[in-house]
Amino acid sequence: GKDGYRHYMEKELHEHPVVIGQTLQRLIDPATRRVVLPDLPFDLACVPRAVVTACGSAFYAGMIGRYWLEQYARLPVDIDVASEMRYRDPPLVPGGLGLLISQSGETADTLAALRGMRQAGQHIVSVLNVEQSTMARESDAVLGTVAGPEISVASTKAFTAQLSVLACLTVALGRARGHLDAAAEERMVTALLDLPSRANEVFEQRDAIRRMAAIVAEARDVLYLGRGSSFPVALEGALKLKEITYIHAEAYAAGEMKHGPISLIDRTVPVVATVPSGRLFDKTLSNLQEAKARGGRLLVFTDTQGAPRLRELAEVVVEVPAVDEFTAPIVQTIPVQILAYEVALLKGTDVDQPRNLAKSVTVE
């Protein structure tokens, strides 16, 4: 049941902290505080590159995984949505890592891409929530997300569970490839183990998110922005808004704005930006100043460290706990999903069963 929540989506949003914790528990040894992956039938250290594919939200999780694998494990990564990947037939060097991500393990395009990668001699590792699924049976190894059943068509907790797995895979690959020393691994593991508590604190921002929702609910079009690992968070926010509120939303890498979408901006098109403190903060801030100068209304997700510098610029600031740059996209995803939910409540749409959508897309 819904445990007293109005919708499965609301219940599942509240499960983020627990699900992240359970998923990490499987992959981090509490005694040594090291990431321990299940036995793999190949040597991670020998993988020359990775090819990542998935659909929808799972694809956005994969995009965050790409930023991580490149930055922390220095592993070359190619990524595309599965419906493209399956027909692209990219030239792959045998012995590479084929990384699939799926909540259901039954998505037709992702399964077809998996089979293509297998034929091309890749080691198939799937990040799956349903561990008794077709993709599980056809993989060399399964890294399970421990999200429990996800009923709402709009994916929520499965996404942060996927990120938790991809984060651990990044640490394991970084170590195997000699790009992470013990101190760096310790720092990253500490940031991961801290996540359930930090994720819990996001729910204290409910009022600020509701103020944002009131503005978004009046809009016909919404622009989502983010840079680096916050760009897929923006994509996830825009997808969730489209799915359950039927408001048109587009996500852009913040730096791309002046190459086109800035022409859309006026008072009627709110700009929702994800701007955690860190390396890219100032870059995104200057993109927001440009949007504001064109009359844009800024609704900003940031953290306690970034908030003071955004208060003057933005109409609403949602301030989640400041965490390590590595885990920021996991924490930042939660308020972005809650925003879509709050807008759906205002719109009175069918949150758990949005029109035209199925939970699992098993046909092409």
Nearest-CA neighbor of 225 among 252, 198, 204?
252
CB nearer ligand M6R, residue 5 or residue 121: 5
Q: Rounded to the nearest 10 degrees, what angle do helices 182-193 and 157-176 cross at?
A: 170
Q: How far is the CB of 344 from ligand M6R (least distance, A)?
A: 12
Query: Please, which residues bridge with residue 221 across strands?
Result: 248
Q: How far is the CB of 262 from ligand M6R (least distance, A)?
A: 27
CB nearer ligand M6R, residue 65 or residue 306: 65
**Residue 44, Cα to own-chain centre: how many angstroms?**
24
- Specify burial of residue 123 (Cβ count, 10 A radius: 0-12, 13-18, 19+): buried
* Host H or E run for residue 208: helix 206-217
- Which residue is at the shortest CB distance from ligand M6R? 56
Q: How far is the CB of 166 from ligand M6R (least distance, A)?
A: 13
CB nearer ligand M6R, residue 102 or residue 229: 102
What's the angle, vertex CA 219, arms to CA 154 and CA 308, rounded to 5? 85
CB nearer ligand M6R, residue 153 or residue 280: 153
Q: Tell me how far apart the alpha carbons of residues 211 and 302 are, in angstroms, rounded to a whole number.
A: 15
Q: How far is the CB of 42 from ligand M6R (least distance, A)?
A: 24
Q: Is 258 part of the annotated catalytic residue set?
A: no
CB nearer ligand M6R, residue 197 or residue 362: 362
What's the angle, vertex CA 273, arms to CA 235 and CA 358, rounded to 5? 30
Q: How far is the CB of 129 from ligand M6R (least distance, A)?
A: 7
Residues that bind ligand M6R (CB under 6 A): 55-58, 102-104, 107, 110, 153-155, 239, 243, 360-361
- Specify burial of residue 345 (Cβ count, 10 A radius: 0-12, 13-18, 19+): middle
Q: How far is the CB of 110 from ligand M6R (least distance, A)?
A: 5
CB nearer ligand M6R, residue 20 or residue 158: 158
Classified as helix, coil or strand, 124 is: strand
According to DSSP, the β-strands at 34-35 and 28-29 are antiparallel
Nearest-CA neighbor of 52 among 130, 148, 160, 165?
165
**Residue 254, Cα to own-chain centre: how many angstroms?**
17
- Residue type present at position 62: G
Nearest-CA neighbor of 284 among 245, 330, 239, 332?
332
CB 237 within 8 A of CB 245: no
Q: Tell me how far apart the alpha carbons of residues 257 and 263 are, in angstroms, rounded to a whole number.
A: 9
CB nearer ligand M6R, residue 284 or residue 332: 332
Active site members:
359
